[in-house]
Amino acid sequence: MTRTYVFIAALITALTGAAIAQDSVATLRSGVPLDQHPAPPQIATVKDTDLRQVRNYPEQPPLIPHKIDGYQIDINANKCLQCHSRTAIEISQAPMVSITHFMNRDNQFLASVTPRRYFCTQCHVPQSDAADLVENTFVDIDKVLEYVAGTKAEDH
């Protein structure tokens, strides 16, 4: 009798385990086996509008509204600073690098961009017209506040 119970329990565990393993792993390989190369997707076009984008929250690093193909940012040179440095903006009319980028970690202002803020693309990125790989449920704070105000109004 106990033998039968153990057998049935083992069978159920094995079956459900297999079922879970089959559709629980999220992958961007779209089901192509590991030893094969899937056809690469078309390279998305970078938005080159030159129009400043809305920040999704105040602390968001501003997005780059133009192409930055081949821009060199390394120990030798920083192509972004050719237009965005303090002294270049009169000629380029580009936004100046934020004053916070001149501060070292002791909040002391340096003469030029501090080394810890030197690599622009660590935070600032251009945008492309690529489709989202995963669904994004981010909601702007203004929408949240509107929603909260709405529910409060309903309560009263």
Partner 1 sequence: MWQFIKRTWAAIRRPSMHYSLGFLTMGGFVMGIIFWGGFNTAMELTNTEAFCTGCHEMRDNVYEELKPTIHYTNRSGVRATCPDCHVPHEWTSKIARKMQASKEVWAKVFGTINTREKFLAHRLSLAQNEWARFEANDSLECRNCHSEESMDITRQSTRAAEAHERFLFTGEKTCINCHKGIAHQLPDMGHASLITGDSSEQSLVDYLKTE
Report the interface residues with partner 1, using CB under 8 A: 48-50, 66-67, 69-70, 72, 74-77, 79, 81-82, 85-88, 91-94, 111-112
Which residues, 6 or more positions from 119, have their beta carbon under 8 angstroms from its beta carbon? 73
Residue 126, Ramachandran bin (φ over 0: left; ψ between -120 and 50: alpha; else beta): beta
CA 52 to chain centre: 17
40/58 with CB nearer partner 1: 40
Max Cα distance, the chain (Å)? 89
**125: exposed, middle or buried (C-beta count within 10 Å: 0-12, 13-18, 19+)?**
middle
89/125 with CB nearer partner 1: 89
Nearest distance from C-beta of residue 122 to partner 1, angstroms:
19
Nearest distance from C-beta of residue 48 to partner 1, angstroms:
5
Nearest distance from C-beta of residue 135 to partner 1, angstroms:
31
**Residue 102 structure tokens:** 């001149």
75/153 with CB nearer partner 1: 75
- Strand, helix or coil at 132? coil
86/125 with CB nearer partner 1: 86
39/51 with CB nearer partner 1: 51
Nearest distance from C-beta of residue 62 to partner 1, angstroms:
15
Which residues, 6 or more positions from 85, have their beta carbon under 8 angstroms from its beta carbon? 96, 97, 112, 113
